Each structure stands twice: as structure tokens, then as C-alpha cells.
Chains A and B, each alone.
Chain A
Amino acid sequence: MAVVKMQQINICALRTKRKSIMEALQRRGVVEISPLEYDGGVFVKEETSQHRSLFMKNSASAARAYEIMCRYFPEKTSMLDMFKGRQPISADEYYKAVEKTKEIMRDASEVIALDKSLSDKKADIAKYEYQIEALVPWKNLDISMRFKGTDSTAAFIGTLPEELSYEQVLMLLAQQQPQLCPFELEIISSTREMTCIFAVCRAEYRDMLEDALKKIGYATPAVVSKYPPSQRIEQLNGRITNLNNEIVKTEEEIKKYEAQRDSFKFMEDYFIMRADKYEELEKLVNTKHTFFLKGYVSEKSAIQLKRYLAETFDAVVELSDIPNDREIPILLSNNKLAQPVESVLETYSMPKRFEFDPTGIMAFFYYIFFGMMFSDAGYGLVMSIACGIALLKFKNMEEGLKKSVKMFFFCGISTTFWGIMYGSFFGDAVTVIGKTFFNADWKFPALWFDPIQGTNSMTLLMFCFLFGIIHIFVGLGISGYMSIKNGRPLDAVYDVLSWYLLVGGGILALLSMDMLKSMTGFTLPPIFLTIGGICAAIGAVIIILFSGRGSKPVKRLLKGIYGVYGVTSYLSDILSYSRLLALGLATGVIAQVFNQIGSMAGGGVIGAILFTIVFLIGHTLNIGINALGAYVHTNRLQFVEFFGKFYEGGGEKFAPFKINTKHYNIKEDIKNG
């Protein structure tokens, strides 16, 4: 439950060993390399952007080749693949594959070239098909479409808009040009969009006829050839057949590379790794024969790493503590139960170096609140079992995902617990099934009470506020602890104890008034009114006097009075915990609604079928909606109500130099570990 202590690591080694040291560091993934200041003189920094872009290009082409191969040899995928994580391979396998880099990359570019020719051919086919389509209306024309006439005649081959008959064309022409030269017209074909015509006249009338034709919308066709259209169509069809044969051949050729599919996948990763490595290389400084590296390493792995680097690579490794005034990258370490919630903390903000890591305490409340909101034993079991199976079955699950799955596993257990407390198992499924199908009075008894019954909801509301007060007070307590730890115990009195007195005293006083009796069902003896009042008054006085400390007297007093106004925010914070009740009730009642709808067809076979269908669909829906609600609102209670009291955050997450691949995870050999 803490921020891990970091050490600075300085490595100095021979330049010939640089590659293997960097690779070892990358595989271990325990060092965050930070850029070394450039000193000039004998020290040189390396510019690697060119190399990097080359590697990224290689990685992209390997990825492309892999994608192409997947088109012909698809990998089996399923919904559950997201849990699988990257495939682990040993360092030996890794080096074996790396040796073949050249060969594999040659194959990759070959595959890409083949694929490119494939798409070119497909584009050609599409082009020819388009041409054929354009030529089909001209099929009955038995001369070339380029024909413009003979020495003494002028011919026009082209289209007119709309569907027109021979007579209609003549009429249109007559309308445009009553004294038209003699000509011969033939309708080649006519469709709704256009009419294809062939017209011929004497050469000297060429312009006149062309004019008239243009006026009625004559246009020359886009696709023409020197062969008559029907012959041309045949030619084109022949070409398409050839291309199709070639495509089959090319595809066969691509398929020959089947065995390389996974190698391409590997290469995609390999070049990403190299690019990453070169990016880190820029942070080092080099002399002619040596290089220096500075970085952060957790204290836990430091000694072992030092020994390993010194023994294997003859490197000089220096470990030193980091001065207190410097920020360090933050790595958290928590016990098994709390560790999954780290990712929730991370979505808010990482703590600073000497800040209190709230994960452990947060985890405790997180599981409780999630369970109260989801609050159904059946749903909790479903969630825990699903997460448990996923955890057992997919050992290579990515670290981040694994954390989330573990978190929901624990949330599921808490949900089951609260479901038993409230007597809710898929809502009132037990009772409904008993009543509908077996005519029996079954019950899933509540261990504590059923919040839907009678005034129980009011009692539970009080408990929700109680949990809220505890949660908020713990948050305040952490704030006080931090003040004391940082050597400012008076701050703890002014900012924490004062609020304990004011809020706590206020609540005591409220509880001893008659006003709230109808809600709580009890009142405290009047003495508590006095005690509570005095506490609250002391708290208020402290706040008025000290919350504006550091300002000038008048301003200080005004600030202090304004500080007391902060009590409203405590009130709204506490009321906010009513969502524990509201969402808990929502889960239970919606489940009951579905059970009731399911039982509407009564008993018997048909009733059972309907019930099963409604049960499955309805409860799946309810789980989805309410798990989402419980997750989001648990986060909210933590982030707003809890963190608001003490947490600052703003730390930088520890980002070690490691393998950031897509498909494979290279494991360091055990013999080296």
C-alpha cells in the first residue's frame, strides 16, 4: 500500500555491448530511462529518427503482408480473444526468428508486390467491365464507332438523351431546323436513359446536320474503339478471362507463403521493438568506446539488475538514492486484494512521490459500495464465475485487463454478499418460480432485511448515510495523517479535527431532535444534543479562526466565515450516498419486473419456455445496465466525495522501457533471471 521507492541507476559500459544491454533492459522492462544532459566534448548523442522511421516502415510492411496472408488463411478469432493476451515466446525462439529477418522481409515485400499486382488486375477488370457496359447499347452497330464518314459522306455516331423512336427524332430535328439537308438516320438501340443513333449525310452538309443534332442533345460516346462494338466486347471479354486466370495464379503464388504468416506477424513486432529501442538510444550519451545511461529502477529489482548487468556485460552499474526534493516516476505496490483497484486510481491521477497511496483503503470501500449498488446474489455469482473462468483460462492476459477482471471478480463476491443480506437472488426469482410452477411458497431469505419491504428502505437509507459519513471521515483522516506526517500537526487540528467536530457534532445534535424520529425510528437522549452542539460550536470556531490563516486579519475572518459555509458541501456529500440505496433498489426491482413479466403466461410448458426466455434476456440486460451503473457511481463516490477530502495526485506514472508489441510477448530466459 504504498508508492514504491525508486533508485537512480547509472550504467556505463562498452559500446560494443550497447545493443545487448539495451535488449536485455527492454525484455526485463524494469528501468525507465531518462535523458542524460548533453555535455559536449567527447560526449556524443545519437540521432536516430532516420533509423526509427525505417523500422516503422518495415513494421508497417510486415503488418501489411500479415494482413494479406490473413485474407487467405484467416486466424480463428472469437469474442474471447480479447482476454487471450499476447502469445509468449522465449528469447531463444526470438533470436532464431530474428536471424531470418532478411529472408522474411524479402518475402513480405514479395507478398505485397503480388498483392499490388492483384489489385491492379482487379482494377483492370473493373475498367474493362465498365467499357463493355458502355458498348453494349452499340452492339448492333457493325462498323467502328470511330467512323466519321467517307470522302463524300459525313457520319454521326452518338447518343441522344431519353428514349426516342425514329419518328420522334425526325420530328425533333424538324422542329429545330425546318430546312434540314437530306440525311439517313438509324436507331441502333434505345433505352430509358438514352437513344443511340447513327446518322449519315453528304459531306458538305456535315456542319448543318451536326448543328441540328447538337441542338437536340447529341453527344459523342465516351468509350469508342477502332473495332466494331460487338468485336470489341469479345476482345474485352477475352482480356477479362485472361486476367481472371492470372489472378488465380497470383493468388496461388501468394498462398505459397502460408508458412510465413506468423513470421510476418513477428516482424511487425520486432521492428516496433527496434524502433522503441532506438528512441531510447537518443537518451544516452556516448563516447567513442563507451556509453552512459541514466534511469529509474525500483529498489526491489535494482540489486538483482545490477548483478546481472555487471556479470553478463561487464557493465559498471551505480545505484543511488534520489534526493527528496525531486519527483520520481510513480509505481504502486499493493496487496492482492487492493492491487486490482490501482487502475481506478490511475484513471483519476497517480499520487505524488510522498503522497499517501489510497488504493488499499479505497479498495475496501470500492468493493462494499459496488456490492451495495449491484446487490444481487445471482448477479454477483454470474460476475465472479465469469471473471474467475477468464482468469483461469487465459493465463497470458494483459496486465491491465487482468487487473480489471480481478477487480470485477472481487466486486462480484461483494455483490453476492449484499445479495444474501438483502435476500435477492435474480430478484425474487425463487419465490416467483415456486409460486408459478410448483405452487409452493419458496423464499430466498434475507440475512439482514429486504429493503423493498415496508419501511426497511428508510432504515437502509440511514445506513447508506452512515457508510457515507464513515467514508468521508476516513478521507479527512488521511488528510490529517498527511499533515502530521509532513510535520504540520496544527494543520490537522485546523482542517481535520475542526470538521470532525462540526460535522460529527451536528449529526449527533440532529439525531437527538424529534424532527428526524419518523425517518430513523429513534432519538438519542437530550444530553447528546448538548454534547453535539458544543462539539459543533468548537469546530465552527476553529474553522472561523483558522481556515483563513495566512491572510490579513479582516480578510482572515471573512475567509473563516466562508469556511464554515463549507458545511453545505459536507451535507451534499453525505446525501450523495443515497445512490447506494437507489441503485441497489433499482437492481432488485427491475429484476422483479422481469420475473413478473416472465411468469405472466402461468405454469406449464409454454409458461416455462416464456419464463426462460424472459429470464435470460431480462436479467442479462439488467446485469449490463446495473453493472455499468454500479461501476460508474462507485467511481464517482471515490473520486468526488472521497478524494475531494485529501487527495491531490498529479504524479507521473512509471513507464519502464519495455516490449510494447502487438502479438508476441518475449520472455526473458529463466536461466538469466
Chain B
Amino acid sequence: MDNLGIVFGLLGAALATFLAGTGSAIGVGKAGVAASGVLAEDPSKFGKVLIFQLLPATQGIYGLLVAFLILSKIGVLGGDPNISVVKGLLYLAASLPIAFAGLFSAIHQGNCSVAGIGTISKKPDQFGKAILLPAMVETYAILALLISMLAVFNIPGLNL
């Protein structure tokens, strides 16, 4: 049971990828459905609706990012896999902000993107404004990413 540290660490990496990724998948999926509807009417809007569809995709990438950082710190990708249980749990805790903020913000950003796609299907010239509203939701994913990343960066330096 001495190796539980790496188990918790890996659990954290898995949570970050899986929850944030799930959120992005839901968000991108919703936006994609709406985007296809617009394309059926006007294929020339492809570039614009694609951007809207991609907006909720970032949370999944943030999750991947944190997961990757954790993997490299706990030694799964080579290096020393002997980390203490406390540090393992710390990594698990560090993954939680991006996991949950990613999950929920991506879903709601997806909803917002759907509405934005509706806006530009009627008023293509309002692209700049329409794209800003879903971006507001992303702020909280970025804040979560920041905390997760700062935590992961600084955990190895702790004397535990």
C-alpha cells in the first residue's frame, strides 16, 4: 500500500481529462447540432459557425493539459514513480477545479454558443458581439485552469 500516492495522482489526472472532456463533448455536440441547422440554410456561414462550435472545446484541452502535467510530475511518463500518499492526494485535489469547472462551464458555454449561432444566422454582422457572450462563460474555466496549474506546478516543491 506504499504506492497509493501514484494511484491518487493518476486518479486526479483521469478526473481532469474525463470530466472536463465530457463537458466539452456535450458543449461541442450541442453547438454542432445547431451549426448544422444553420449550414442547411446557408453553407457560406461555415467558417463562422465552426468557431462557435469550437468555443466549448477548450475545457477538454485544459483538462488534458492539467492531466498531462500531473502525469509527468507523478512519474507515469518516466521518472520516479515513488510519491507519497499525501502528494498523490494533493495532485488529486489540484485536478478538481478544472475537472468540475471545466465540466459545467463547457456545458453552459455550449448552450451559449447555440444561442450565438442563432444570432449570427439572422445577423451575420453581429459576429463580434455574439462570440463574446460564450467567451464570458469560459472565464471560469480559465480561472480553474490557473489554480489547477499553479497547484500542480508547486506541489513538487512542498516539503511533505
Query: A residues within 8 Å of B by Cβ?
Result: 344, 346-348, 452, 454-455, 457-458, 461, 575-576, 578-579, 581-583, 585-586, 589-590, 593, 596, 624-625, 628-629, 632-633, 635-636, 639-640
Contact = CB atoms under 8 A, between A and B. Distances in A.
Contacts, number: 78
B100 interface: no
Interface in B108-155: 127-129, 131-132, 135-136, 138-139, 142-143, 145-146, 149-150, 153-154
Contacts of B127: 347
A632 B57 contact: no
Contact of A347 (B129, B142, B146): B129
Given A452-B153, A457-B150, A586 B145 contact: yes
A635 B132 contact: yes
Interface stretch (B7-15, B33-41, B62-70, B81-89): B62-70
Given A452-B153, A586-B62, A578 B143 contact: yes
Given A454-B157, A578-B142, A582-B149, 7 more contacts: A347-B128, A575-B143, A579-B139, A582-B143, A589-B69, A625-B54, A636-B136
A590 B135 contact: no
A633 B58 contact: no
B51 interface: yes
B65 A589 contact: yes
A625 B58 contact: yes
Contacts of A593: 64-65, 68
Contacts of B136: 636, 640
A417 B61 CA distance: 25
Q: B61, B146, B149 — which one has the most chain A CB atoms within 10 A of its CB?
A: B146
Contacts of A457: 149-150, 153
Looking at chain A's contact residues, the main secondary structure is helix
B56 to A, nearest CB: 12
B76 interface: no
Contacts of A347: 127-129
Nearest to A453: B153
A576 B140 CA distance: 10
Contact of B77 (A596, A629, A635): A596
6 contacts: A347-B127, A579-B143, A581-B146, A583-B142, A590-B61, A632-B132
Contacts of B146: 461, 578-579, 581-582
Contacts of A628: 51, 54-55
B61 A586 contact: yes
A629 B154 contact: no
Given A635-B128, A639-B132, A576 B58 contact: no
Contacts of A581: 146
Given A589-B68, A589-B69, A590-B65, A344 B128 contact: yes
A496 B65 CA distance: 41
| Residue from A347, A454, A590 with most neighbouring chain B CB atoms (10 Å) | A347
